Every structure is written in C-alpha cells, then in structure tokens.
A and B are shown apart, each in its own frame.
Chain A
Amino acid sequence: MALEIEIMVKVAAYTGGGLAMGLGAIGAAIGEGYTAAEANAAVSRNPKISADIFKNMLVGQAVAESASIFALVIAILLLFLDVPVPTLLKAAALLGAGLCMGLGAIGSGVGSGYPGGQACTGIARQPAVTSQLTTNMLIGSAVCQTPAIFAMVISLMLMFLDFGNAPLYPSWAAYLGAGLSMGLAAIGSGYGGGLAAGASCEGIARQPKSATNVTTIMLVGQAVSQTPAIFGLLVSFILMFKSYPESTALSASMALLSAGICMGFGGIGPGIGNGMAAEGAVRWVARNVEHAGDMMRIMLVGQAVSQSTAIYAMVVSLVLIFVV
C-alpha cells in the first residue's frame, strides 16, 4: 500500500508538470506573436528605424515570455520534486499546483503582448518618443505579470507547504480547488491589464504631451482589473489554510472543489471587462486630455459595476466553504 501511494504522488506530480507547461505555453506564444505581427507592420511603415522597432519588439517579447518561464520553473520543479512523506493529500496538492500555474500563465502572456505590439506601432508613427514608449510598455507589461506571479506563489505553496495531518477527505478537494480558483481567476486580470497597457502605448504615440495622464489612468485601470485575481488569491488562501473536520461524505468534498471552480471562472469575465473599460478610458484620455477627470470617474464607476459579478462569485464561494 505504501508503494501505491508513492506511485500516485508521482503520477500527480508528472500530470501537474505537463499541465503547467502545456497550458502555460498558450498565452505567451499568442502575445509574442501579436507583438511580432505589429512590429512587422511597423517596419513596413517606417523602414528607416527598423533597428529601434526590432529592439523594442525583443524587449516586449522578453517581458511577455516571463509568464511562460514561471510555468517552466514550476513544471521542472514538479518533475524532479522529492516528496519526503508521500500522501494522497500531497498528490491532490501537486495536481492543483500544476493546474494553477498553467491556467494562471494564459492571461498574463496574452495580455503583455498588447503593449509590446502597440509600442512598436507607436515607434513607427512617432520615432521621437521611442524611449518614453519603451518605458511605458515595460511598466504596463510588468503590471500584467502580477496575476501570473500570484499563481506561481499559490503553486509553490501547494508544492512545499507541509499540510501535516489534515484529513484526506475533504482536504484533497480544498487543495485542488485552491489551484483552480487562483489559476482561472488570473486569466481575466492578466488579459484585461494588457488591454489597458496596449491602449496607453497607442495613446502616447498619438499625443506625447498626454503621457503623464495616460500612464496614470493606465495604472489605476490595471490596478482595478487586478481585483478578480486578488479575490481568487483570497479564496485560495482560505481553502488552503482552513482546517476541515474529517468527513467522508462526497458532498463535503464537492462543496470545496466547487468553491474553487466558482471563484475561478467567476473572475474571468470581470477581469476582462475591467480591462476593456480601462482600455476605453486610456485611449480617450490621450485624445482629449482636458477631460481626463471625467473619464477616470466614469471608468471607475463602470469597473465597479462590472466587478459585481466577481463579488457574487466570491460570496457563493465563501458560502460553499463556510456555510453549507
């Protein structure tokens, strides 16, 4: 029997490693492809500064790559992890860790491709502000990486925390749910943050004088777009650290798994929606900077309403964890 559990833990670790890298490769590849496509269009528009555009493309792609590199690190760790005390609980946690990192890298990868692409287009249009565009691109895509970093933190915790003698039923579902909650919720926030950052690079190239206002509203918009990912992180923490009474009832396990699924999927839409709102606001602040205050206000109101469904999802998750 001891051997069997050891094999189960290995199976979970390898499956988790495959999922982490397989899912984690999706986002960055799409994002970097977008950056390269825009760079090609930019070079054909203004071939004289192709060296600058090429340099900016590579820097932008390098940042977009980081989400995938997080996934690679987690996948390698899962493949070579040495589990001192193999238990079925650890197997569930390792599978959760892989899912969390794989899903969590998708949004950030796709999202950080947008500022890269728009910065290349902007350099072709307005070569005088190249360094300003590169700086803004770097700030925007760095913020896009936050959800992927949250996912990496949860993955590492699931892999290395010692869960002691928590009861197998229903704790296995809590650890799997923690991974799903963070991984899925990171998709929307990463993608949404990218939309805002892309629009800001486009705006600065169009109207370099508005750069300060544009960067400010981009950061505010991205910060609000991060909220669903933070809800996902919160639910993950609660699922990991709450202690559960032992219960072999199927319903007790399913309630915890369902809490993770609910918060995870529930965070996708509001994250993207908040990013769209921020994108619209950033784009039009660049075009009409005198009314930046009005647009900031309506962006925040719109984002707050769009956030509401993520809050419903969090409420249902918390009910599933604490009440039923």
Chain B
Amino acid sequence: MAIEGVDIVKAAAFIGAGISMGLGAIGPGVGEGMVAAKACEAIGKNPKEAGLLTRTMLVGQAVSESTGIYSLVIALLLLFVV
C-alpha cells in the first residue's frame, strides 16, 4: 500500500469533511429543539398568539441553523474545492 503525498492530503480532506459536518450538526440540532420546546410552552400559555410565536420560532431557528450551514459549506469545500 504505497501512500503518496496527494493521497494523504485527499484522505485528510475527506476525514475533515466528515468531522466538520458530523460535529457541526450537534449544536444546531439541540438548539433548534430547545426553541421548539419553548415555542410549544408559549403557545400553551397564550394560544391566541400562535401565529406570532410560530414566526418568532422559525426566525430563531433559522439563526441557530447558520452554524450548521457553515459546517456544510466547509464540508463541501473540503470535498470538492480544496
């Protein structure tokens, strides 16, 4: 198994892509779940504002999603560009 420099670099990029997306997905997943839990609580307390609460939840989750998207971008860069 002759290992060459180019091969090692490619292997490292693949492993890096997996770790980037894998670990990067943990935070947004948990964070967005917290938002959804609190949104359910808020609707339980004040059902009249369901529309406003849904909107607030979605905006909050979208912001929390951003780090997941950064991870995805880095993973795709590692796979196809670098």
Do A and B pair up? The answer is yes
Give the interface of A toward B (CB within 8 A).
169, 188, 192, 228, 248-251, 253-255, 257-277, 279-281, 283-285, 287-288, 290-291, 294-295, 298-299, 301-303, 305-310, 312-313, 315-317, 319-320, 323-324
For chain B, what secondary structure do more than half of its interface residues adopt (helix, strand, loop), or is it mixed? helix
A310: chain B residues at CB < 8 Å are 25, 29
Can you add 4 more A-B contacts, CB < 8 Å, to A266-B21, A276-B33? Answer: A250-B1, A262-B18, A298-B50, A307-B29
Contact A313 B43 (CB under 8 A): no
Q: Tell me the total A-B contact number using a CB cutoff of 8 A.
A: 207
- Least Cβ distance of B58 to chain A in Å? 7
B65: chain A residues at CB < 8 Å are 305, 308-309
B40: chain A residues at CB < 8 Å are 277, 280-281, 283-284, 295, 298-299, 302
A261, A306, A324: the one within 8 Å of B32 (CB): A306
B44: chain A residues at CB < 8 Å are 283-285, 287-288, 291, 295
21 contacts between A and B (CB under 8 A): A248-B1, A251-B10, A251-B11, A255-B14, A261-B22, A262-B18, A263-B22, A269-B30, A270-B33, A273-B28, A273-B29, A276-B33, A288-B47, A294-B43, A302-B36, A306-B61, A310-B29, A316-B17, A316-B75, A317-B18, A319-B79
- Least Cβ distance of B67 to chain A in Å? 9
B71: chain A residues at CB < 8 Å are 309, 312
Contact B33 A277 (CB under 8 A): yes
On whether A316 and B32 interact (CB within 8 A), knowing A262-B18, A265-B22, A266-B22, the answer reads no
- Least Cβ distance of A272 to chain B in Å? 5
B interface, how many residues as a size bin? 35 or more
On whether A306 and B2 interact (CB within 8 A), knowing A251-B10, A285-B44, A316-B72, the answer reads no
Closest residue of chain A to B47 (Cβ to Cβ) is: A291
B15, B23, B43, B50: the one within 8 Å of A284 (CB): B43
- Least Cβ distance of A301 to chain B in Å? 7
On whether A280 and B41 interact (CB within 8 A), knowing A254-B11, A302-B57, A305-B61, the answer reads yes
Closest residue of chain B to A273 (Cβ to Cβ) is: B33
Once the chains are docked, how many angstroms separate the CA of A270 from the CA of B50? Answer: 24
On whether A309 and B58 interact (CB within 8 A), knowing A258-B18, A258-B19, A280-B39, the answer reads no
Contact A291 B43 (CB under 8 A): yes
Once the chains are docked, how many angstroms separate the CA of A291 from the CA of B40? Answer: 10
B22, B27, B39, B50: the one within 8 Å of A262 (CB): B22
The 9 lowest CB-CB distance pairs between A and B, nearest first, are A302-B36, A273-B33, A269-B29, A280-B37, A284-B44, A258-B18, A265-B22, A277-B36, A270-B29
B2: chain A residues at CB < 8 Å are 248
Contact B29 A316 (CB under 8 A): no
- Least Cβ distance of B62 to chain A in Å? 8
Contact B18 A272 (CB under 8 A): no
Contact A316 B38 (CB under 8 A): no
Contact B25 A309 (CB under 8 A): yes
On whether A250 and B39 interact (CB within 8 A), knowing A262-B19, A284-B44, A320-B14, the answer reads no
A277, A301, A309, A320: the one within 8 Å of B28 (CB): A309
Contact A273 B30 (CB under 8 A): yes
- Least Cβ distance of A221 to chain B in Å? 10
Once the chains are docked, how many angstroms separate the CA of A283 from the CA of B22? Answer: 30
What 1/0 flags go to B35-77 for Cβ under 8 Å of A? 1111111011101001001100110011001001101100110
Once the chains are docked, how many angstroms separate the CA of A285 from the CA of B37? Answer: 12
A253: chain B residues at CB < 8 Å are 11
Once the chains are docked, how many angstroms separate the CA of A312 from the CA of B75? Answer: 10
- Least Cβ distance of B43 to chain A in Å? 5
A259: chain B residues at CB < 8 Å are 18
